[in-house]
Amino acid sequence: MDEPLPVRCQDCLVRDTALCASLCDAELVALSRIGRRKTIPAGGVVTWAGDDNALCANIVTGALKVQAATAEGREQTVGLLFAGDFVGNPFTETSALTTEALTETDLCIFSRVAFERVLDKRPRLERALLERTMRSLEEARQRQLTLGRKSAKGKIAGFLLDIAEAQGGSEIELPIARGEMADYLGLTIETVSRQMTEMREEGLIDAPRGSRRVTLLDRETLRALDE
Amino acid sequence: MDEPLPVRCQDCLVRDTALCASLCDAELVALSRIGRRKTIPAGGVVTWAGDDNALCANIVTGALKVQAATAEGREQTVGLLFAGDFVGNPFTETSALTTEALTETDLCIFSRVAFERVLDKRPRLERALLERTMRSLEEARQRQLTLGRKSAKGKIAGFLLDIAEAQGGSEIELPIARGEMADYLGLTIETVSRQMTEMREEGLIDAPRGSRRVTLLDRETLRALDE
DNA sequence: CGGACGCTTGAGATCCCTCAAATGTCGTGG
DNA sequence: CCACGACATTTGAGGGATCTCAAGCGTCCG
């Protein structure tokens, strides 16, 4: 019964950053048995709001957005997920949120119920998921502050600083387009664009018109704008 | 070693709705050993943003708000908690959020580290906490939609409908004052007040000027306003 | 009676949205 | 290599929703 660790796990880019990092090799064998790889094209939907919540996954490469929408179709991005992040809601029958790929994304997918059975048997996995979920909750609450109380410029400054922190440097590559930034920050695309040109004119950032490459020139002032 | 269940647990008003409901009597004895009752006056602070995160608690009676603030002091309420709800962030050293009593509130308090030790030993408790945390996360994300994309009137209509659902009826008693509604909905107190008088003039609600008693007269239209 | 507090109302300013058009970029096909 | 269309972004003009500042009410309590 010495099942070997599958190659896709041995070579996995997120073996040590995803939820799986909480498992030893023997445990990982058990989890790997119910998992399979799947590639989602950019713009592809992973889970639909309202559908029954059939799957969980780890992101191996790429990025997803978690999307909410009003009845009239106004959209709000309520979370961004990157390599190593966990996707899905174990123990929940349905969700009002849609999960969509921002870029081509490789997932390691599990059926929700099978994943729940593994959670039953692997306390370390459940603990790691609990800790992640609590971090996500704190994040979602901080974002309520941004959405409810910050100015357009403050929202954008905070977003740029967050990305810089995640990427570790002042020259950043935005993971999302202007329109997606607008959905994420509760603004319109025009407001995002105008604020970014203003920031360029004020010498706070350098960013070729329309480009996703941005250099933060004055983090001090950006931090002050972030209120 | 047949330690009896303490009276405060036998008589507990939230024995069957709080996290404790996941425990059998024997397990509850273990948890009760590290808990104690504490009454917080209205306006009292349970945990301060930035302090080290020393405690967890169940709400026995009363209500709390979870509060975030910008550097300049603009405040945003990022969650409301009522009897039976769990307070605190196990496995986290510190939080940027402040928890404050809206009314006089009775808590059943645990030291965070002691509570974590109980979680280690009681998988059902941990499972119940995970499920609650995931529900809170979904809630916090839905609130991002409200804060980012809804109009003032939509925010208030949605809030009134939520309260009506929680209280089960069309005659509701608002759990919070106008200013607290403003903090919760990302508005100013003046906007809340003006929108509510408009809704009264439009026949959507009945509410004596300045009162917390509100009757929903036209839920259909309110739901439509909620976008 | 007077003051504190919470709520309402008013006037004006501001920020952001809406609608519209121009500009730029990129990939495809001629 | 250039022309073209699709698409994302920028820019402009104007309007509207919400905020700010200020004053007026009503109630409760000392």
Residue B171, helix vs strand vs coil: strand
A82-100 residue pLDDT tens: 999 999 999 999 999 999 9
| Chain B, nearest residue to A71 by Cα | B227
Average pLDDT, chain B: 96
Cα–Cα distance measured from residue A67 to residue A184, given in angstroms and rounded to the nearest whole number: 9
Report residue B3's pLDDT band, with 50, 70 and 90 as the boundaries. Answer: confident
What's the whole-number mean pLDDT along residues A179-207? 97
Q: What percent of chain B has pLDDT over 90?
A: 96
What's the pLDDT band for A227 if we cut at 50, 70, 90?
Answer: confident
- Inform me whether the pLDDT recorded for A2 exceeds 90: no
- What tens digit of pLDDT does each residue of A26-47 get? 999 999 999 999 999 999 999 9
CA distance readout (Å), A5 to A21, A27, A116, A126? 14, 10, 21, 21
Strand C close residues, chain B 151-190, CB < 7 angstroms: 177-179, 189-190
Closest-CA residue of chain B to A138: B95
| CB of B185 closer than 8 Å to CB of B199 | no
What confidence score (pLDDT) does residue A222 get? Answer: 97
Which residues lie closer than 8 Å to A218 by C-beta, 6 or more apart?
A203, A204, A205
Q: Which two tokens stand for residue A225?
A: 């704008």
Give the CATH number of domain A7-135: 2.60.120.10
The predicted structure's pLDDT at residue B107: 97
Chain C bases closer than 7 A to any CB of the protein: 6-11, 15-20, 24-25
Contacts with A144 from chain B: Cβ below 8 Å? 68, 76, 78, 140, 143-144, 147, 186
Q: In angstroms, rounded to a whole number, what is the distance separating the alpha carbons of residues A161 and A94?
A: 34
Domain parsing of chain B, residue ranges: 7-134, 150-225
Mean pLDDT value across residues B6-10: 92
pLDDT tens digits along B40-74: 999 999 999 999 999 999 999 999 999 999 999 99
- Beta partners for residue A58, in sequence order: A86, A108
- As a whole number of angstroms, the distance between CA A199 and CA A194 comes to 9
The burial of B198, by beta-carbon neighbours within 10 Å (0-12 exposed, 13-18 middle, 19 or more buried), is given as middle
Q: How many CA atoms lie within 13 A of B189 on its CB side?
A: 8
- Which pLDDT belongs to residue A1? 56
Asked whether the beta carbons of residue A149 and residue B185 sit closer than 8 angstroms, the reply is no
Angle at B18 (CA atoms; ends B15, B22), nearest 5 degrees = 80
pLDDT of residue A4: 87
Closest CB to A149 among B70, B144, B154: B70
Does the A150-225 domain belong in CATH 1.10.10.10?
yes
Please tell me the distance from the alpha carbon of residue B38 to that of residue B105, in angstroms, as a whole number. 8
CA B190 to C1' C12, in angstroms, rounded, equals 15
Tell me the per-residue pLDDT of B121-175, one tens digit each, with 9 for 90 and over: 999 999 999 999 999 999 999 999 999 999 999 999 999 999 999 999 999 999 9
pLDDT at B12 over 90: yes
Class of CATH domain B7-134: mainly beta
Say if CB A71 and CB B161 are below 8 A apart.
Answer: no
- A 10 A CB-CB count for B143 gives 26
Q: Contact B141/A142, CB-based, under 8 Å?
A: no
At B4, the pLDDT band (50, 70, 90 cuts) reads: confident
Q: From start to end of B30-188, where are the E strands? A: 35-40, 45-47, 55-61, 63-69, 75-82, 86-87, 98-101, 105-111, 171-173
Report the percentage of chain A scoring pLDDT > 90.
96
Please give the mean pLDDT across all residues of chain A: 96
Q: What mean pLDDT is predicted for residues A201-209?
A: 94
The closest of B165, B187, B180 to B212, measured between CA atoms, is B180
Quick check: B2 pLDDT over 80?
no
Whether the CB-CB separation of B68 and A144 falls below 8 Å is answered with: yes
Distance B88 CA to D28 C1' (A): 36
Confidence tier at B1 by pLDDT (50, 70, 90): low
